[in-house]
């Protein structure tokens, strides 16, 4: 997709479609009045008719009259007081998704007054709306079909119309937004692929292809090396499947180097290619969703790739423990005692609490490779989805200063996180007769207990993200299809880029 930034009046920009955001109730003053006049009064007429509404992300398509574009899409930005960075991304996605199935090659987007509601002004608006448009192009219905007709259009050219802005700064920002959006879609496409397609080995192959393309180093540990390293938890989870586990390690930067902030950042993602629950098997209802249990892994693989495109050579690593959690003659059983890479013994009470087992060994390995700061991202518990739903990721972290640094990256990325407490008193619920601790306790506070389990494997600053509620949508939205959302990709990219030179 080509990108152009123009300072012309929006009605003077030739394109297949001109997108026009409006804030609050549709009111036709200033530029909007002129646009409406040139569009033959269509916008005001649709507003009077009730078709053009102020509900955020609602859209209408009108004929363009004497406006140079072929059509005009008006999109509601909603109430001025609640316009956030996330809203601007989603406005972009809503525009693009509204054009699904239509013939559109060039899309012009007028930024309107969106920049007035954001730190960074028009430049920030350009970045976020461009990212949103690219994210809006993603359509999972095309992954296994070439004849799907209703996909959002693949654009040849995006034109950002920003009359009073610094065109060079707007262009650089929009380019950054496009690259972040593309990385998000790389993650989403992998997330949505089925378990008979993406085994741990196939996921490792996808990571290898990305590493070669973007100049990252890659190391894929097979079971024999994982055993030498003492990854007893990781191997226990992987043992039930005929598709053997893989520990995928991507790195950038010089060996031993630290980033500008003195960090060797490790991002670690849960890669359960299918989570049947294992011997503690899940009920059939919605088990098919468990092909998405590799989302954390896909997120970190895509994020380090995006960082490599925006700031090549930034010292960091991405680790993705990839397994299939299956019942079988070699599966781990409830009551099995395994030894983690850090020497701690674990009593596996429930084989369906597998994510924390593979992540614990991956975190130990990250530290062995020199990580000074860690973030893990995982579809870890149903409890987080019940507590926070699909809009807010549950987060934990220690020390607080590292959590705060993470949260600042989340805010720049326009993603929503809610910090939860690691309540010390609950740790005793993981006590075991036979081992240092169990992998599950009673259900009460299960979300917090999952974080307390992971904490046993961190000796450096660490943040844990539970994306089980936010990783994929069960129903489509104006701004996103059913399926993978790419959540946390942009945050991890921002966090890493804060340390780029």
Residue nearest to Zn ion (CB): 275
Query: CA torsion angle for 267, 273, 274, 279 (degrees, to 10)?
Result: -70
Stretch of 146-154, 302-310, 348-356, 480-488 contacting ligand BES, by CB under 6 A? 348-356
Site string for ligand BES, 479-498 (x = CB under 6 A): --------------------
Site string for ligand BES, 262-291 (x = CB under 6 A): -------------x-------------x--
Q: How far is the CB of 492 from Mn ion (least distance, A)?
A: 23
Q: Is 376 in the site for Zn ion (CB under 5 A)?
A: no
Q: Which residue in 73, 162, 174, 383 binds ligand BES (CB under 6 A)? A: 383
For ligand BES, the closer CB: 311 or 353: 353
Q: Is 293 in the site for ligand BES (CB under 6 A)?
A: yes
Q: Which residue in 72, 236, 308, 353 binds ligand BES (CB under 6 A)? A: 353
Q: How far is the CB of 186 from Zn ion (least distance, A)?
A: 22
CA distances to 36, 134, 228, 295 from 20, rounded to whole Å, are 11, 17, 59, 34
Q: Which residue in 265, 272, 292, 465 binds Zn ion (CB under 5 A)? A: 272
CA distances to 201, 276, 336 from 351, rounded to whole Å, are 22, 10, 9
Q: How far is the CB of 135 from Mn ion (least distance, A)?
A: 28
Q: Is 324 in the site for Zn ion (CB under 5 A)?
A: no
* Residues of the shown chain interacting with Mn ion in the complex, contacts defined by CB under 5 A: 275, 352, 354
Question: Which one of Zn ion, Mn ion, ligand BES, none interacts with residue 350, CB within 5 to 8 A by kind?
Answer: ligand BES
Q: Is the peptide bond before 399 cis (omega within 30 degrees of 0)?
A: yes
Q: Which residue in 137, 139, 206, 275 binds Zn ion (CB under 5 A)? A: 275
Stretch of 35-43, 178-186, 353-361, 422-430 contacting ligand BES, by CB under 6 A? 353-361
Q: Is 293 in the site for Zn ion (CB under 5 A)?
A: yes
Cα distance between residue 501 and residue 496, in whole Å? 11
Cα distance between residue 496 and residue 406, in whole Å? 10
Q: Which residue in 243, 314, 379, 485 binds ligand BES (CB under 6 A)? A: 379
* DSSP string over 280-340: SPPPSTTGGGGGGGGHHHHHHHHHHHHHHHHSTT--EEEEEEEEEE--STTS--TT-EEE-
Question: Which contacts qualify for 256-263: CB closer than 8 Å, 24 or more apart?
Answer: 256/370, 257/315, 258/315, 258/372, 259/314, 259/315, 259/316, 259/496, 259/499, 259/500, 259/501, 260/499, 260/500, 260/501, 261/498, 261/499, 262/372, 263/315, 263/372, 263/373, 263/499
Q: How far is the CB of 396 from Zn ion (least distance, A)?
A: 17
Q: How far is the CB of 367 from ligand BES (least distance, A)?
A: 23
Catalytic residue among 85, 131, 356, 412: 356
Q: How are the residues of the chain apportioned to helix, strand and coil, as percentages rounded to the nearest 5?
A: 40, 20, 40
Stretch of 149-157, 165-173, 338-346, 380-388 contacting ligand BES, by CB under 6 A? 380-388
For Zn ion, the closer CB: 152 or 200: 200
Q: Is 381 in the site for ligand BES (CB under 6 A)?
A: yes
Identify whether the C-beta of residue 482 lies closer than 8 Å to the C-beta of residue 140. Answer: yes
Q: Is 501 helix (H, G, I), strand (E, B) or coil?
A: coil
Among this protein's residues, is 294 annotated catalytic? no
Stretch of 3-11, 87-95, 290-298, 474-482 contacting Zn ion, by CB under 5 A? 290-298
Closest CA to 484 of 337, 333, 345, 379: 379
Q: Which residue in 354, 361, 376, 415 binds ligand BES (CB under 6 A)? A: 354
Cα distance between residue 467 and residue 396, in whole Å? 12
Cα distance between residue 360 and residue 451, in whole Å? 11
Identify whether the C-beta of residue 54 lies closer than 8 Å to the C-beta of residue 25. Answer: yes
Among this protein's residues, is 356 annotated catalytic? yes
Q: Which residue in 91, 124, 468, 484 binds ligand BES (CB under 6 A)? A: 468
Length of the chain: 501
Q: Is 155 helix (H, G, I), strand (E, B) or coil?
A: coil
Catalytic residue among 282, 339, 427, 477: 282
User: Under the rule (CB under 6 A), what is the footprint of ligand BES?
Assistant: 275, 289, 293, 350, 352-355, 379-383, 385, 440, 446, 468
Q: Which residues bind Zn ion (CB under 5 A)?
A: 272, 275, 293, 355
List, by residue number, the catalytic residues: 282, 356
């Amino acid at each position: 997709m080509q990108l152009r930034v123009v300072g012309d009046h929006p009605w003077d920009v030739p394109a297949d479609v001109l997108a026009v955001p409006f804030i609050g109730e549709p009111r036709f003053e200033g530029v909007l009045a002129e646009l409406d006049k040139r569009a033959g009064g269509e916008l005001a007429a649709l507003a009077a008719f009730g078709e053009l509404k102020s509900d955020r992300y609602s859209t209408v398509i009108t004929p363009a009259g004497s406006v140079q574009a072929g059509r005009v899409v008006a999109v509601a930005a909603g109430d001025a007081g609640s316009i956030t960075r996330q809203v601007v991304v989603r406005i972009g996605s809503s525009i693009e998704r509204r054009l699904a199935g239509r013939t559109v090659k060039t899309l012009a987007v007028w930024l309107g007054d969106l920049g007035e509601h954001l730190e960074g002004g028009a430049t920030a608006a350009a970045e976020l709306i461009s990212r949103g448009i690219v994210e809006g192009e993603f359509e999972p219905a095309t992954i296994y079909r070439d004849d799907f007709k209703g996909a959002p259009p693949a654009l040849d050219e995006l034109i950002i119309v920003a009359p009073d802005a610094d065109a060079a700064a707007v262009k650089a920002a929009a380019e950054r937004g496009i690259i972040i959006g593309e990385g998000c879609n790389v993650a989403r496409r992998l997330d949505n692929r089925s378990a008979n397609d993406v085994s741990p080995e196939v996921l490792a192959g996808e990571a290898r292809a990305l590493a070669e393309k973007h100049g990252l180093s890659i190391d894929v540990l097979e079971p024999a090396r994982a055993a030498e390293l003492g990854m007893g938890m990781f191997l226990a989870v992987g043992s039930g499947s005929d598709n053997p586990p893989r520990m995928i390690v991507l790195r950038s930067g010089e060996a031993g180097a630290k980033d500008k902030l003195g960090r060797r950042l490790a991002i670690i993602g849960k890669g359960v290619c299918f989570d049947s629950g294992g011997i503690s098997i899940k009920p059939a209802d919605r088990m098919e969703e468990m092909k998405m249990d590799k989302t954390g892994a896909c997120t970190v693989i895509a994020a380090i790739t995006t960082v490599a495109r925006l700031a090549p050579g930034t010292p960091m690593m991405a680790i993705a423990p990839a397994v299939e959690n299956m019942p079988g003659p070699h599966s781990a059983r409830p009551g099995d005692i395994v030894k983690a890479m850090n020497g701690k013994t674990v009593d596996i009470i429930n084989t369906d609490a597998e994510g924390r087992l593979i992540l614990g060994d991956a975190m130990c390995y990250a530290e062995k490779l020199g990580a000074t700061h860690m973030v893990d991202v995982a579809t870890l518990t149903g409890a987080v989805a019940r507590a926070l739903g699909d809009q807010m990721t549950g987060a934990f972290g220690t020390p607080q200063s590292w959590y705060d640094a993470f949260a600042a990256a989340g805010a720049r990325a326009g993603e929503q996180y809610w910090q939860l407490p690691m309540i010390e008193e609950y740790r005793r619920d993981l006590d075991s007769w036979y081992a240092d601790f169990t992998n599950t306790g009673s259900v009460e506070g299960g979300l917090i207990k999952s974080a307390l389990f992971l904490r046993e494997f961190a000796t450096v600053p660490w943040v844990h993200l539970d994306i089980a509620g936010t990783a994929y949508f069960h129903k489509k939205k104006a701004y996103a299809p059913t399926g993978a959302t790419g959540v946390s990709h942009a945050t991890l990219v921002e966090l890493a880029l804060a340390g780029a030179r």
